[in-house]
């Protein structure tokens, strides 16, 4: 049976997420401004499945990304420590969080993440792997690239930081999508290929940071 536009907009399975998206929309209006690299308002630059790779400065990053991309269903990879408690874990799962055990090779989490993207949704990943309050993004892990290569989806680099004042809106800078297939066409990408694409992603996230700094100085 062909998927109708109605079922892609309204799907009872995603009702909790869509309820959350309504709140994200309001949060976005009040507290978030999303810009492109040129400093102008970001126009929806991608369709279909995608991986959003953003820096991680605090727990509010997920809500900020949800606000910036409120028009998409955004799933998140969350560590096992965050999703350990019973009721919180249940709620986070309803809101689209996929549990990842960072201490093992969590192939099942990767598979769930790839499946989400292949269904045309967006997956947000924090490639630093932990909260880092530094301004510059110095190092990232290769999980986001691995997921993007497996799913064939583009990676959207994003940079954001909490504003200096609690009353200011938070700026999110979205970079140009990275198509991994431009950098690796092999059936089995090698470790070297994945590390190369990860370096490019790191560079693009820092490009977004430079655009962010330029915007804040104006």
Partner 1 sequence: MTTYQRLEKVLNSVFEGEIDPGGITLRSNLRDDVGMNSIGMLYMVMGLEEEFGIKFKNTDFPELKTVADVVACIEAKLK
Residues making contact with partner 1 (CB under 8 A): 101, 103-108, 110-111, 141-143, 146, 150, 186-192, 194
Under a CB-based contact definition with an 8 Å cutoff, are residues 113 and 104 in contact? Answer: no
By beta-carbon proximity to partner 1, the closer residue of 65 and 98 is: 98
Provide, rounded to whole angstroms, the least separation between the CB of residue 127 and partner 1: 12
CB of 195 to partner 1, least distance (A): 10
Q: Which residues contact 116 (CB under 8 A, 6 or more apart)?
A: 49, 75, 98, 123
Q: Is 104 exposed, middle or buried (0-12, 13-18, 19+ CB in 10 A)?
A: exposed
The residue among 101 and 182 lying less far from partner 1, judged by its C-beta, is 101
User: What minimum distance in Å lies between the beta carbon of 189 and partner 1?
Assistant: 8
- Cα–Cα distance, 107 to 20 (Å, whole number): 28
Query: Does residue 58 contact residue 131 with C-beta atoms inside 8 Å?
Result: yes
Least CB distance from residue 103 to partner 1, whole Å? 8
The nearer residue to partner 1, 166 or 186, going by C-beta atoms, is 186
Q: Which two tokens stand for residue 6?
A: 């109605």
Other beta carbons within 10 angstroms of residue 1's beta carbon come to 4
Nearer to partner 1, 100 or 208 (CB): 100
Residues forming beta bridges with residue 178, ordered by sequence position = 155
Q: At what angle do helices 107-118 and 143-151 cross, to 10 degrees?
A: 50
Minimum CB distance to partner 1, residue 10 (Å): 32
When the beta carbons of 4 and 192 are compared against partner 1, the nearer one is 192
User: How far apart are CB 192 and partner 1 at their closest, in Å?
Assistant: 6
Structure tokens that stand for 70 in this block: 């409120």
């Amino acid at each position: 049976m062909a998927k109708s536009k109605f079922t892609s907009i309204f799907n009872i399975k995603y009702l909790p997420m869509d309820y959350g998206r309504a709140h994200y929309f309001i949060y976005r209006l009040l507290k978030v401004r999303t810009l492109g690299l040129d400093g102008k308002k970001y126009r929806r630059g991608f369709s279909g499945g995608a991986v959003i790779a953003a820096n991680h400065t605090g727990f509010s990053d997920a809500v900020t990304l949800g606000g910036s991309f409120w028009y998409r269903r955004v799933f998140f990879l969350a560590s096992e420590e965050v999703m350990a408690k019973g009721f919180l874990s249940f709620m986070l799962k309803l809101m689209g969080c996929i549990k990842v055990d960072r201490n093992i090779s969590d192939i099942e989490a990767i598979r769930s993440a790839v499946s989400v993207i292949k269904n045309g949704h967006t997956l947000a990943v924090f490639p630093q792997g932990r909260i880092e309050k530094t301004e510059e993004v110095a190092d990232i892990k290769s999980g986001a690239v691995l997921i993007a290569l497996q799913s064939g989806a583009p990676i959207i680099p994003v940079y954001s930081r909490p504003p200096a004042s609690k009353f200011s809106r938070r700026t999110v800078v979205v970079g140009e999508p990275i198509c991994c297939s431009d950098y690796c066409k092999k059936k089995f990408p090698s470790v070297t290929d994945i590390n190369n694409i990860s370096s490019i992603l790191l560079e693009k996230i820092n490009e977004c940071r430079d655009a962010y700094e330029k915007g804040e100085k104006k």
